[in-house]
Amino acid sequence: MKRLPASSYLTAIYLFFYIPIIVLIAYSFNNAQYSLVWHGFSMRWYHELFSDIDLWIAVGHSLILGIFAATTAMCIGGLAAVCLYRYQFLGQKVLYGLVFILILSPDIVMGISLLILFSLIKISLGFWSLLLAHITFCIPFVVVTVYSRIVSFDQYIFEAAKDLGATDTVIFTRVILPLLWPALLAGWLLSFTLSLDDVIISYFVAGPDFEILPLKIYSMVRLGVKPEINALCSITFLLTLVLILLSQLLGRKKP
């Protein structure tokens, strides 16, 4: 009796989530400019997309930016998470709170505040400003990912290592890193995804010389709906999908 309404409700919500995306992907293969009617399967929009040099430059920029930002954020955020877990130090609570405030703080405020900072210290808007901004908004997410993993560790491992004479650096490289690499990798993938998807913060700190993919998509969408954008969004969606699946596999809280 109860099952039918429940499962139809779930189905309705899932359809709401996925129909727009499925339609988008389907139309990226439709051989027609505007019509919704199916005009046959075609790779035409993908071909047009692939011949757009500017777009490829933007993709390249985004990938480079994502790799650098994710790697730096992974290192800094990982170290911070280890410290938060292992040590008592002055301002520990403040640091923890700050990480959460940064996750919750509106992107737009972070965007404008970094814009003011960069204009004040005369960092020209482009690769470096984007990189610094992306690292900053990725760090808290790495800290949270790694921290939630590290608390599930057996505390005695560290004490055993210490008793056996290992220094903190040795414990870090020989005990923590081997145990923590899946969480670090999950944090990296998360940061990479965030960096690849960010519009709001990048919108403020990007310059004309260094165009990145999300902003390129944004400006294309603003100019009007074109089938190439369907193709572009489909590819980007699939790329994100792969990254999410990978980070989910790695981030599972298993002993």
Partner 1 sequence: MKHDSLFKQFSLSIIWVWLLIFALLPFGLVTIASFLSRNDSHLITLPFTFINYFQLGNSIYIKIFKESFYIAGICTAICLLLGYPFAYLIARMRNRFKSLLILLIIIPFWTSSLIRCYSMITILKPRGVINSILLWLGIIDKPLPLLFTDTSVMIGLVYNLLPFMILPLLTNIEQLDHRLIDAARDLGANRFTTFRKIILPLTLPGILSGCILVFLPAMTIFYIPDLLGGSKSILLGNLIQNQFLIAENWPLGSAVSIVFTLLLAILLLIYWRSTRSNQARDLL
Q: Please tell me whether residue 231 binds partner 1 under the rule CB under 8 A.
A: no
- The CB-of-50 to partner 1 minimum distance in angstroms stands at 19
- The CB-of-119 to partner 1 minimum distance in angstroms stands at 7
Q: Tell me the C-alpha to C-alpha distance, in Å, between residue 220 and each of 55, 61, 235.
A: 10, 17, 15
State the greatest distance between any 2 C-alpha atoms of the chain, in Å, as a whole number.
72
Please say which residue, 44 or 230, places its beta carbon nearer to partner 1: 230
Q: Which of residues 34-53 bind partner 1 (CB under 8 A)?
A: 34-36
- Please identify which residue in 51, 119, 152, 155 interacts with partner 1, judged by CB under 8 A: 119
CA dihedral sign, ordered 39, 42, 44, 45: positive
- Report the distance separating Cα 77 and Cα 98, nearest Å: 13
Give CA torsion, residues 217, 184, 111, 49, to 10 deg: -10
- The CB-of-44 to partner 1 minimum distance in angstroms stands at 17
- The CB-of-64 to partner 1 minimum distance in angstroms stands at 18
Please say which residue, 135 or 250, places its beta carbon nearer to partner 1: 135
**CB within 8 A of 235, min separation 6: which ones?**
49
Q: Please tell me whether residue 56 binds partner 1 under the rule CB under 8 A.
A: no
- Please identify which residue in 17, 38, 41, 56 interacts with partner 1, judged by CB under 8 A: 17
Please say which residue, 9 or 41, places its beta carbon nearer to partner 1: 9
Q: Please tell me whether residue 20 binds partner 1 under the rule CB under 8 A.
A: yes
- The CB-of-197 to partner 1 minimum distance in angstroms stands at 4
Residue whose C-alpha is closest to residue 108's, from 243, 11, 198, 191? 198
Q: Please tell me whether residue 120 binds partner 1 under the rule CB under 8 A.
A: yes
N- to C-terminal Cα separation, the chain: 40
- Report the distance separating Cα 134 and Cα 204, nearest Å: 12
Q: Which of residues 187-226 bind partner 1 (CB under 8 A)?
A: 190, 193, 196-197, 199-200, 203-204, 214, 217-218, 221-222, 225
φ/ψ (deg, to 5) at 30: -85, 135
Give CA torsion, residues 100, 101, 102, 108, to 10 deg: 140
Q: Please tell me whether residue 241 binds partner 1 under the rule CB under 8 A.
A: yes
Q: Mark residues 80-99: x for contact with partner 1 by CB under 8 A, - for none.
A: x-xx---x-x-x---x--x-
Please say which residue, 136 or 210, places its beta carbon nearer to partner 1: 136
Q: Which of residues 146-175 bind partner 1 (CB under 8 A)?
A: 148, 167-169, 172
- The DSSP code sequence of 176-195 is IHHHHHHHHHHHHHHHHHHH
- The CB-of-135 to partner 1 minimum distance in angstroms stands at 8
Number of H helices, E strands in the chain: 12, 0
